[in-house]
Amino acid sequence: TIPVPSKRLVWAEPGDRLVMETGGGAGIGEPRRRDIACVADDVRNGVLSGRAARDVYGVVIDAKTGELDANKTSQLRERRPD
């Protein structure tokens, strides 16, 4: 196995095998129905930005504390359902 850095041109020869592993996926179901605690965990773990949590999942994370704001999340989800 030879690791190849991102955005690099690599020549393959007949018989070579190329394996590509990518992260992420489309997920299952409506994003705004996802458990808000799971979304908050993803923000805390750096998987999601606070902006993506709000815009995609309808979950509000306090920018100063990094904590889930359940009241604002509920209000946002009521205003902008699935």
Please tell me the pTM assigned to this model: 0.66
- pLDDT for the residue 39: 95
- Name which residue leads in pLDDT, 61 or 10: 61
- Name which residue leads in pLDDT, 11 or 5: 11
Structure tokens given for 1? 């196995």
DSSP-assigned states of every residue in the chain? -----TT------TT------------SS-GGGS-HHHHHHHHHTTSS-HHHHHHHH---B-TTT--B-HHHHHHHHHHS--
* 26 pLDDT above the threshold of 80: no
- pLDDT for the residue 25: 67
- Summarize pLDDT for 36-80 with one digit per residue, the tens: 999 999 999 998 999 999 999 999 999 899 999 999 999 999 997
